[in-house]
Amino acid sequence: MKLERISLNQLGSMIVLFLIGSSSLFLLASDAAKDAWIAVFAGMLCGLVLLCGVNLALFRLMPGKDLIEIIFELLGKPIGYVICLSYVLFFCYESIRNVREFGDLMIMYLLPQTPLAALMLIICLLAVYTVFHGLDVFFRMAEAILPIVIGIYIILFTLIAGSGLLHLEYLTPIFDDGFQTVWRATFPELISFPFGELILFLMFWKYAAKHGKMTSLAVKCYLFSGCFITITNIFIYAGLGNLAGTVAIPLMQLTNLIEFSQFLERIDPFVALLLFTGVFFKLTAYYFGAVLALSKFIKLPSKYIIMIVGAVIYFGSFMFRNYLEQVWFGFQYNVKYHFPLFQIVVPVLLLMLAIIRRRRNEKVFAE
C-alpha cells in the first residue's frame, strides 16, 4: 500500500464526505422529535469542542505522528499494544456496521432478490481494491466525487421544496418537551455518531501536505458538514413529521413523494446512490485506519494486512441477524458506552499525558 502526501483540498473533501456519509439520509436524534435539528446542531457544537480541544490539540502536541504512534510514545509497548489493538478492532467494527447497513438497506429498498452475502462482498471488494491503490488515490477520489454528491443533494432539496412537501409548522413549537429531551438526544448519541468519528483522522492528518493550514481547514469542513446535516434533518422532519422517526431511510421516503405534473417522479435511485457513496467512503476510511494501525505493530507485507483486515470486515458483517438487531445494538450499547470510550475517554487521557510530558520537558530544558 503506497502512502503519499495528500493535499488540503483532498483532506477537506474527505472530511466532508466522511462526516455526511449516510447520516444525512436519516433522522438523527429522533427521540427529540421536532427538536431533532436542534439536537443535531448542539451535537455539532459539542463535537467541535472535542475536535479543537482534544483531537487537533493532541496532533499539535505530537506533530508528525498518527494515533498509534502517539499511543506507543505516551504509554509504552505493554499498554500501548492493548490499546492499539483495541483501536484496530474499533475501526474494523465501524467498517463492519457500514457494510451490513449497506447490504440490509439495499435489499429492503432496491434489490430484494439479491443475496445479502453477494451485496456485502461487492462493496468489500471495491474497498479492498481502493485500499490496495493507496491513501492518496482514495483522497483524490473524495475530491472528485464531493461536488457530485453535494450537487445531487441540492437538486433533491430543490425538488422537495418545489413540490410543496415542506410543512414548517411541523417544527414548532420548539422546546415543547423541554431542553432536557434535546440534551438526552444529543449526549452521547450525536457525539458518538457522527461528530466524534473524526478521531479516525488522527490516522490521516500526518500525511497532509501543509500542517500549518490543516487546523483551520478541518474546522471549516467540520462546520460545513454539521450545518449540512442539520439542514437535512430540518427537511426530513418538515416533510414527514412524526413519520420521519418510523421509516428506515426517511430521505428516500420523502423523495418518493416528489411529483411534477406526473412527469418527474420515482427519483429514489438517486438517494440509493447517495447511500452507496456515503457508506463506501466511510467504510473504506475505517478500513484504511485499521490497516494503518495494524501495520504499526505487525510486521507483515501490506498486501497481507489488507487481506486480513478485509476478511475480518466481510465475515464480521454477518454477526448481526438482521438490520433491526444492528440498529438496536448500536443505539443501546455502541453510541452510549463503546464509541465514547474510543472517541472521548482515551483521546482526553492521551492529551493529558501529552501536556504533562511537554511541561516536564520544558521544565527540564529550563533547568
Contact criterion met (CB below 8 Å) for 276 and 266: no
User: What pLDDT, on a 0 to 100 scale, did the predictor assign at position 188?
Assistant: 80
What's the whole-model pTM score?
0.94
Q: Structural domain boundaries of the chain?
A: 8-366
Which CATH architecture does the domain made up of 8-366 adopt? Up-down Bundle (1.20)
Using the predicted structure, report yes or no on whether residue 366 has a pLDDT greater than 70: no
pLDDT in tens, 64-113: 899 999 999 999 888 999 999 999 999 999 999 999 999 998 888 788 89
pLDDT in tens, 183-213: 888 888 888 889 999 999 999 999 988 777 8
- How is residue 133 written as a grid cell? 491503490
pLDDT in tens, 50-71: 999 999 999 999 988 999 999 9
| Three-state secondary structure readout of 49-62 | HHHHHHHHHHHHHC
Sorted by sequence, the CB contacts under 8 Å of residue 367 that are 6+ apart come out as none
| Gap between the Cα atoms of 292 and 299, Å rounded | 12
Counting residues of the chain whose pLDDT is more than 70, the rounded percentage is 96
| Gap between the Cα atoms of 58 and 350, Å rounded | 8
| Gap between the Cα atoms of 146 and 144, Å rounded | 6
